[in-house]
Amino acid sequence: MNATLAAILAVLGLTLVKATPLIYAALGGVLSERAGVVNIALEAVMIAGAFTAVAVSGATGSPLLGALAGILAGALVASVLAFAATRLGVDQIVAGTGLNIATLAAAAYGLVLIYHQPGASREVPAFGRPGETVLIVLAFVAALTLQFVLTRTPWGLRVRACGEDPGAAEAAGIDALRTRFGAVVIGGAIAALGGVYLSLAELDLYSNGMTAGRGFIALAAVIFGRWTPLGATGAALFFGFFAALQYTLQRAGVPTELMQALPYLAALVALAGFAGRVRAPAADGVPYVRE
Amino acid sequence: MRRRFGAVQAVDGVDLELFPGEIQALVGENGAGKSTLAAIAYGAVRPDEGTIEATGAVGLVHQHFKLIQRLRVWENVLLNREPKRGWTIDVAAAQARVRALGATYGLAVDPDAVVETLPVGIKQRVELLRELDREPAVLLLDEPTAALAPSEIASFFETVRGLAARGTAVLVVTHKLAEVIAYSQRVTVMRAGRVVGRHLTAETNAEAIAREMVGGEVPALAARAATTPAPLLALRDVAATAGISTLANASFDVRAGEIVGIAGIEGNGQSALADALAGVVPFTGEMRFAGEALDAADSPASRIARGIRVIPQDRRGEALVLDWNVRDNVALGRQRVLARAAYGSAALEVIERFDVRPPNPEAIVGMLSGGNQQKIVVGRALTSAPRLVVAYQPTRGIDIGAAALVQSRLIEARNAGAGVLLISFELDEIFACADRVLVIASGAFVGAFERSTIDRGRIGALMAGHQ
Amino acid sequence: MNALLRSRGARDALVALVVVFGVGSIAMLLAHVSPLVGFGALFDGALGTPEEVAETLVQAANVLFPALGIAVAFRAGLFNIGAEGQLILGGFAAGWIGAQLPLPAFAAVPLLLVAGALAGGAWGAIPGFLRARFGANEVIATLMLNVIAILLTTYLVNGPLQQGGAGASETAALPRSAYLPDPIALVGDPHLTLAYLGTPIVVGIVLALVLRWALLRTVFGYELRAAGDAPEAAKRAGIDLGRTALVAMALSGAIAGLGGATIVAGSLHRFNTGLSPGYGFIAIAVALVGNLDPLWIVVAAIAFGMLQSGGIAMQAEAGVPREVVSLVTGLVIIALAGRRVVARRRTT
C-alpha cells in the first residue's frame, strides 16, 4: 500500500517538475497569440533564457541574477519576432522558425566562445530545492495573474481587441502594432522563465538541445487550453504527466525512445482531437498592415 | 462651427462645410469618393492636400461596422476609454454607462451581450453608441441604412433628427435618394472624386440628383424576350446554414428562361441559400435540378458539372485569385474541362463580351478596378454555357456603366434559355431585371409577385417582417 | 536588367547576402577571427579544389530535395516544417531495404529511391490527413512528427534493426550495386570535369525542372496553386481543398524522403543517426531565398551548399566555429519571411 502511494506521489511530483517549464512557455504563448501573433519561437525564447541564465550565473555566482538575465534575454529574442511581425509585417511562422534556428546556433556558438567546449557548459551555481519550489509555485501564480490581467484590466482588453480585429482596435484609438509588440515581449519574458527553470532549477548547466521541442509542445498546450491562461496551464500539466510517466515506465522495460516520444504523440493526438472545435483569436497570425 | 476641407486624388479638390444642427446628405455612386471623404473627415485617412477644421470631436459610423465580434457590447463601446478602478476595469460602471447612453439616445442595448450574437440592426446601435459616447460635435454616417429594414430606417432617422436637434452636425453618406429627400436639409453631390452639385434639399428632387450623380443618361438594359419557361430548379422545404446566415424553409421554383429575383435585407438567409445551391454547405429538404435530385453532400465541382454557375457576393475573397492574371482567373471553375491551350481564347471571349479594361489577358487581376473584376467573374460564369445562374449581389460596389452591362448580360442569358436566380439587396436592381420577385425574411419566403403585380410598399413591408 | 534588379526576388537575394556577410563578420570578430580570413577559408573550402567543389554540390543536393518539397507545400498554402523528419525516414527506408535485398544495380537504385520517397510521402501524408480531415494545424503536427521520426529511427537502428555491429547506430552498409551510379565510372575518364558534377545534384536539377513544369503547366499544379493563393475561391471553383492538402503534403514529404534516400545511396552508403545535420530546416531558408521557384531554389541550394561544405573548412583552418553557418541561415529565414502571407484557411 505504502509503496503504491509513494509511487503515485512520485509521479505527481515529477509531473509538476516536468510541467513547470511548459506552463511558463504556454503562458507566454497565450499572451502573444491573444494579441494576434503566433509565437512559433517559444523554443528560441526558452533557449535564450536557459543559456543566458547559466552564463550569468556562472559569471556572477548568483542564480538569481542568472534568472533575471535569462528573463531579459528571452524578452530580447521575443522582441526580434515582435519587430518582424509588427514593423515588417512578415509571415510570423516563417520568421519564428528562422529565429529558432538562429537562437539554437547562437547558444551553441556561445558555448564554444565562453566555455571553449561544444555541447554543454560547466556546472554553475543553481537553485536548490527551495528555489525550484518557488519557481513551480510562481508558475501557477503567473497563470492566475495573466488570467486576471487579460479579462479585467484595460491593457488586457486592448490585447484581446488587437488579436480579434486590429483594424477595429485602431479605429478606437489603440496602437495595435505597439500593443502586439508589448504582448509578445512580455510573453517572451514569461516563457524565458521556463528555460531558466530547465537550466538552473532542474539541472545546473546548459547543453545543446536541452529544450527538446518543449516550446512546440507549449504551443499545443495553448491550443488545447483554448487560448486561456488557465486552460493552457491545465494542458501543460497533462503533457507534463506524460513526460513523468516516461520515467516510471522506463523502469518497466519499455524502450526509452518510445517513452520520450509520448509527450509528442500526446500533443499530436490532442491536435487532431481538438482541431476544428476551438477558435483562435480572429486575427491570430494575420499581420496587421496600416493602410 | 464648421468643418471644411480640400483634398486630392480619390477625392479631388473637395470643399465641404457642415453646420451645427443640420442634416446634410453626401450622395454619389459607388466609387465617387464619398467614403474616402468621410474617412478623411474623421481623421482615419490623411489628405494629400487641404485642411480639416472641426470645433469638437468627430464620430464616424462605418458602413461595415468596426466592431470586435467576440467582445461584449460594453467592451466595444468603451474600448480604450474604460472606467477604471485602480488598475482594473470597473465593469459595473461600464455597464451602467452603456445603459445610460442607450436611454439618452433611445438606443437600448444589453451591455453584456457578445456582439457576434446580435442582429445587424442592434449591432449598428452599438456602433452608434460608441461614437456618441465621445459626444461628438460632428457625426458622419457612412451608408447607415444598408442593413436596416424599412421600419428600422424610420426610427433610425428619428434618432438622427434628435441628435441634430441637440446641435450635432450630421453628415449622411448615402446613395439612397428617397432617404435624402425625406430627411436631409442640404445635399452635396459627388461624382468621380469631385463635387458637382450643392443644393437645398427642398429645392431639388430625386431625378435631378440622380442625373447629377450619373452625369448623363443611364445605359439601357437589354430587351426582354417573350419565352415559355420550362421547369429547371425546384426547392421544397430546403433549410441550410452558412456561418451566421440561416435558411429556414425555402420552397420555390426557377424555370429556364426566366429571372427570379430574391428581394430581402442583408442578413436574412441569402448567403445560406446561395451557398447551398453552390454546394459549399449541405442542406436538408429536397432540391431538384432538371428533374434530378441534388445530393446534399455534393461538392461544388458536381454542381458546376451540372451547369450551375454561382456568382458569389465577395469577388475578392470568393471568386478571384488576385495575384493571378486574367487568363488564369477566367479558367477558374473550368480548369479541368478546358484544354490548357483554350484558356487564352476563353479569356479573350470574356474580355471582349464584357468590355474588360485593360483588354489584356496577362493583366494581374488584383490591379483591376472593382467593376472590371466583377465583369470577369460574371463573364466567366455566363460564357461557360450555364443552365442556372445564381447571381448574388452581381453589381455590388461597381460603377453604374459596369452595373448596367452586367444586368444586360444577365437578361441576355435569360433570353438564351438559362434560368437566373438574382439575389440582391437593391430593390431597384430586382425590379429592373426580374420576371418574378420572391421576398425572403428571417430565412423564409414570405411573398411572391409577378412582374406585373409588383407592389413596392408591400414588398418593403414583407422584407421587414410585417405581414 | 533594371527589371531584374527591381524584382522582388533580386531584392530578397540581396538581403540574404547582406545578412550572411554582415552577421557572419560580426560573429567571426567575436571569435577573434578577421572576417577576411574567415570568409576566405569558407570559400576556399567550398570551391578550392575539384574534390571540394564536388563536396559542395553534394551538400547542395542534400538541401535541394527537401527545399523543393517545402516549396511545393508552401505553394499549396501549407507549412511543411517537417521536412527533416521526412528526409530521415526516407533515408532510413532506403538504407534498410538496400541492405536487405541484394539486387543488380539497375533494380537496386530505383528501389531504394522509391522506398525513400514512399516513406517520406507517408510521413508527410500524416499531417496532410490531419489537416484535411480535422483542420489541424500542420505546423505543430509536422514539428511533432520530426521529433517522433528521429526517436523512431534511433530506436529501430539501435535495437531491432541494428545491423552495423554491436554499438553502431546504423544499418548495414549497402552493397555496391545499390550505390548511386558514379559518373566517373560511367564516363570512364577521371579527368573529365563534368564527372565531378555528381549524380545527386543532377537528379535534383531534373526534379526541379519537372516540378516547375508541373506547377505552372498542368491542371494539378493550377489547382495546387489556387488552393494556396485563394482557398475560398478555389473551393467554390470545385477544387477539393482537403484532398489538395493531403496530396501536397504527401508529395512534399515524398520529395524530402527522396532526398534522404539520395544521401544514403549517393554518399553515406548506409543509414545512421547522423544522416542529417538539420538539412530539413536549412531547406526552409533555401526555399525562401529561391522565392519558392524550383529553378531559383537550385541556385539557392548551391549557395547554401557552399556555406555547409565551406563551413567545415572554416572551422578547421580559421578556427571559426561551424555554428556561425546555422546562425546566419536562421537570420536569413527571418529576413526573408516576407509579406507573402500564405493565404490559408483559418485552422487551429
Label residue B10 by pLDDT band (50, 70, 90): low
- Under DSSP, the state recorded for B60 is E
Q: Which of B1-10, B32-41, B333-342, B422-431 has the lowest mean pLDDT?
A: B1-10
Contact status, residue C79 vs residue C323, Cβ threshold 8 Å: no
CA distance B259 to B250: 17
Domain ranges in chain C are 9-343
State the pLDDT at residue B5: 60
For cell 546562425, the residue is C327
CA distance A131 to A137: 10
At residue C345, does pLDDT exceed 50?
A: no
Contact status, residue C128 vs residue C248, Cβ threshold 8 Å: yes
Q: pLDDT tens for residues C237-269?
A: 999 999 999 999 999 999 999 999 999 888 777
Contact status, residue B419 vs residue B232, Cβ threshold 8 Å: yes
Instruction: Decide: helix, strand or coil at residue B138.
Output: strand
Contact partners for chain A, using 3 or more CB pairs closer than 8 A, are: B, C
With CA atoms as reference, report the closest residue to A221 among A232, A213, A229, A212: A232
Rg (CA), chain A: 19
**CA of C281, closest CA in chain A: separation in Å?**
8
Contact yes or no for C240 and B321 at CB 8 A: no
User: Taking residues B354-379, what's their average pLDDT?
Assistant: 91
**CA of C88, closest CA in chain A: separation in Å?**
16
Contact yes or no for B87 and A282 at CB 8 A: no
State the pLDDT at residue C6: 53
CA distance B304 to B350: 18
* Amino acid identity at A185: V
- Under DSSP, the state recorded for B112 is T
Q: Are strands B308-311 and B388-392 parallel, antiparallel or unpaired?
A: parallel
* Fold observed for domain A10-271: ABC transporter involved in vitamin B12 uptake, BtuC (1.10.3470)
Q: Report whether CATH 1.25.40 matches the domain C9-343.
A: no
With CA atoms as reference, report the closest residue to C340 among C83, C79, C127: C79
Tell which B residues from 377 to 396 touch C, by Cβ distance under 8 Å.
none
Q: Where are the beta strands (DSSP E) in B158-244?
A: 169-174, 186-191, 194-200, 230-242
CA distance C288 to C299: 12
State the pLDDT at residue C195: 46
Contact yes or no for A169 and B68 at CB 8 A: yes
All three cell numbers of A82? 515582435
At residue A277, does pLDDT exceed 60?
A: no
Whole-number average pLDDT of chain B: 86
Query: What is this structure's pTM?
Result: 0.83
- Under DSSP, the state recorded for B16 is -
Contact yes or no for C144 and A95 at CB 8 A: no
| Span between the terminal Cα atoms of chain C, in Å | 44
Domain ranges in chain A are 10-271
At residue A71, does pLDDT exceed 80?
A: yes
- Higher pLDDT pick, C239 / A121: C239
**CA of B196, closest CA in chain C: separation in Å?**
39
State the pLDDT at residue A100: 92
* Amino acid identity at B178: A
State the pLDDT at residue C49: 79
Name which of A33, A34, A148, A157 to mutate to probe chain B: the one with the most chain B Cβ atoms within 10 A of its Cβ: A157
With CA atoms as reference, report the closest residue to B165 among B141, B142, B185, B143: B185
Closest-CA residue in chain B for C217?
B340
**CA of B231, closest CA in chain C: separation in Å?**
25
Label residue C348 by pLDDT band (50, 70, 90): very low
Label residue B363 by pLDDT band (50, 70, 90): very high
For cell 421547369, the residue is B231
Whole-number average pLDDT of chain A: 88
Name which of C63, C143, C155 to mutate to probe chain A: the one with the most chain A Cβ atoms within 10 A of its Cβ: C143
CA distance B286 to B282: 11
Task: Report the residue from C217, C229, C235 with minimal CB separation from B300.
Answer: C235
Instruction: Tell me the range of A111-115, B38-42, B260-264 where mean pLDDT is highest.
Output: B260-264
| Span between the terminal Cα atoms of chain B, in Å | 46
Query: What does residue C170 show for φ and ψ, rounded to 5 degrees?
Result: -160, 170
The residues near A198 (Cβ < 8 Å, ≥ 6 apart) are A21, A46, A50, A210, A211, A214
User: Taking residues B110-128, what's their average pLDDT?
Assistant: 87
Task: Report the residue from B280, B303, B323 with minimal CB separation from C235.
Answer: B280
State the pLDDT at residue C193: 46
Task: Report the residue from B299, B304, B332 with minimal CB separation from C233.
Answer: B332
For cell 446554414, the residue is B241
User: Taking residues B233-237, what's their average pLDDT?
Assistant: 93
User: Taking residues A234-245, what's their average pLDDT?
Assistant: 88
CA distance B407 to B413: 10
User: Taking residues B221-239, what's their average pLDDT?
Assistant: 81
Tell which C residues from 235 to 274 touch B, by Cβ distance under 8 Å.
235-240
Task: Report the residue from C30, C79, C339 with minimal CB separation from A113.
Answer: C30
